[in-house]
Amino acid sequence: MTQGSDPKTDTRKRILDIAEQLLLSRGFNAFSYQHISSELGVRNAAIHYHFPKKSDLGVALIQRYRRRFRRFIEQQAELDPGAQLEAYFGLSDSYYRQHRQICPSGILSTEFLTLPEDMQREAAAFIDEMRQWAVDITRRGAASGQMRYAGTPEAIGMMLFSALQGALQLARIDDGALDTIKRQVRAVLGLPGH
């Protein structure tokens, strides 16, 4: 079987990919190793070989999100705050288009109290980074004069982050919610396109 075998292991990455889909559409508590192994075409124990405990898999998932998110920020570093916000909106869109998935922070904060301790630590750090980034955008947006809004950059950054997280969840019931809320966030920030 020489089908795209990688130096490291392909399987580990594929497990993470499948687990990610399951996490975003069903949540951490509502998917099992069975779901992954049957989709992957291996036995259950193969998943345990790569991730002995389910919380190991969970932690690895969040750590990968954090790495990706840091890379995402670096790539957008040269853009102006408004364009960065639009890039963030684009992320949300792609979640939604993928079978009405929601953003990871939404799942992790909702299930937070039921998560294993090591996942809680990782999740809290991840969500904090995202929140800080949102605040950073609104701060620079106001400083550069591109954005005009009532309230502090901290508060409006958190509100936009929170509203977008909620929007993806509501979009599961109300198709238009995500677009409506994106438009309204632009309006509140004094940006064009609403």
Helix (H) or strand (E) holding 67: helix 54-75
- Quick one: 75 or 152, whose CB is closer to a second copy? 152
Out of 48, 64, 100, 139, point to the residue binding DNA (CB under 7 A). 48
What is the C-alpha to C-alpha distance for residues 102 and 79, in angstroms, rounded to an integer?
25
Residue 77's binding partner, choosing from a second copy, DNA, none, with beta-carbon cut-off 5 to 8 A by kind?
Answer: none
Does residue 114 interact with DNA by CB under 7 A?
no
**CB-based contacts of 126: which residues, under 8 Å, 6+ apart?**
62, 65, 66, 69, 104, 105, 108
Pair of tokens at residue 57: 């898999």
**Greatest C-alpha distance within the chain:** 61
The three-class DSSP label of residue 65 is helix
- The count of chain residues that interact with a second copy, using the rule CB under 8 A, is 52
What is the C-alpha to C-alpha distance for residues 48 and 1, in angstroms, rounded to an integer?
22
Considering the complex, what minimum distance in angstroms separates the CB of residue 3 from DNA?
11
Residue 53's binding partner, choosing from a second copy, DNA, none, with beta-carbon cut-off 5 to 8 A by kind?
Answer: DNA
The three-class DSSP label of residue 177 is helix
- Quick one: 48 or 100, whose CB is closer to a second copy? 100
x/- string (CB under 8 A) for a second copy, residues 12-51? -------------xxx-xx---------------------
Nearest alpha-carbon partner for 32 in 19, 17, 45, 20:
19
Contact residues for a second copy (CB under 8 A)?
25-27, 29-30, 100, 102, 105-107, 109-114, 123-124, 127-128, 131, 149-152, 154-156, 158-159, 161-167, 169-170, 172-174, 177, 180-181, 183-185, 187-188, 190, 194
